[in-house]
């Protein structure tokens, strides 16, 4: 029995590469209308997947992306915050404050803004899910992963708090 998901809009950040690419293709194959938000097309996406180029460092770009989604579809049902700077690790003595901020701005702040915008366009819907992709690095760290670990720890905390705040 095939589940009819064609009316369910799924937004996936970082959905054009790595894990996000496979999430995008998988949700598309299951019949969801997938909208990918990514800084660039790392891989060629199925023609049924919408792509919006967005830098998660930019509040304006994120808000514009969600406005485009709302204009085209009217709503959204699933947000998967997958995008992250995950290959960056540097010795604490060498990492600059700007580099640390960059990781936090993409991985945590960008996800937070996406959550806020998603909640706006999901308002009034009977179904909605926010899935934030974290990592074991938030509590099982290795040396030189301070920025990434801090961003994912913050994301875990954000997720837990959103679950309480949005429980109704």
Task: Let me know: does 88 contact 103? Beta carbons within 8 Å.
Answer: yes
Domain 9-165: give its CATH superfamily. NAD(P)-binding Rossmann-like Domain (3.40.50.720)
Per-residue pLDDT 10s for the chain (168 aa) are 234 455 899 999 999 999 999 999 999 999 999 999 999 999 999 999 999 999 999 999 999 999 999 999 999 999 999 999 987 778 899 999 999 999 999 999 999 999 999 999 999 998 999 999 998 666 777 888 889 999 999 999 999 999 999 988
Q: How many CA atoms lie less than 13 Å away from 43 in the CB half-sphere? A: 16
pTM comes to: 0.93
pLDDT of residue 2: 36
Q: List, in order, residues 6 or more apart from 108 with CB less than 8 Å away.
A: 151, 154, 155, 158
Task: Let me know: does 86 contact 149? Beta carbons within 8 Å.
Answer: no
- E strand spans, the chain: 9-13, 33-38, 50-53, 78-81, 129-132
pLDDT of residue 5: 57
Domain ranges of the chain: 9-165
pLDDT of residue 6: 57
Active site residue 21: no
């Amino acid at each position: 029995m095939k589940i009819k998901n064609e009316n369910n809009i799924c937004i996936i950040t970082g959905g054009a590469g790595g894990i996000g690419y496979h999430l995008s293709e998988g949700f598309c194959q299951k019949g969801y209308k997938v909208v990918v938000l990514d800084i660039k097309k790392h891989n060629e996406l199925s023609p049924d997947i919408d792509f919006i180029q967005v830098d998660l460092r930019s509040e304006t770009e994120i808000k514009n992306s969600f406005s485009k989604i709302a204009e085209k579809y009217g709503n959204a049902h699933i947000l998967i915050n997958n995008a992250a700077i995950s290959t960056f690790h540097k010795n604490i003595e060498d990492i600059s404050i700007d580099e640390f901020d960059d990781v936090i701005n993409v991985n945590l702040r960008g996800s937070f803004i996406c959550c806020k915008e998603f909640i706006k366009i999901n308002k009034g819907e009977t179904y909605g899910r926010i899935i934030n992709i974290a990592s074991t690095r938030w509590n099982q760290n290795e040396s030189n992963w301070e920025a990434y670990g801090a961003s994912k720890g913050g994301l875990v905390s954000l997720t837990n708090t959103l679950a309480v705040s949005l429980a109704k």
